[in-house]
Amino acid sequence: MKASILRTISICLLSAVTLTGCASGGSEFLGSWVNTKNPNDTFQVTRNGDEFLIASPEQKAGVGAIYKDGTLEVKGALLSTNLTYVKRTDTILTPGFFGQVEYKRKR
């Protein structure tokens, strides 16, 4: 009886560790985001297979991005940009014309 309980607990712990370790990277970016300074500037991040799709309400297709080194990397025709997730504030930082632009999760 005691061995059966220990075996069950061990299997549960191993399963939890395995599932946590296999969680796909970048899930913290998923959802709708709004600019902290301009509420009309919004975008949504969704998963598109192994990649991500970033779309604003005006865009039908959106822009593809990959999760690399803890950021979402968007490759454009002329240049690339990175979206950085800040766990402490649950925000995303992106480069802008006059410094960084901060987006908060839309609730």
Digit-coded pLDDT (tens) for 19-69: 344 457 999 999 999 999 999 999 999 999 999 999 998 887 889 999 999
Domain locations in the chain?
A: 25-105
Residue type, 45: V
Q: Does domain 25-105 have CATH number 2.40.128?
A: yes
**In this structure, are residues 51 and 66 in contact, taking their beta carbons and an 8 Å threshold?**
yes
The H-or-E segment that residue 66 falls in is strand 63-68
Among 23, 41, 22, CA closest to 32: 41
Whether this prediction's pTM lies above 0.85 is answered by no
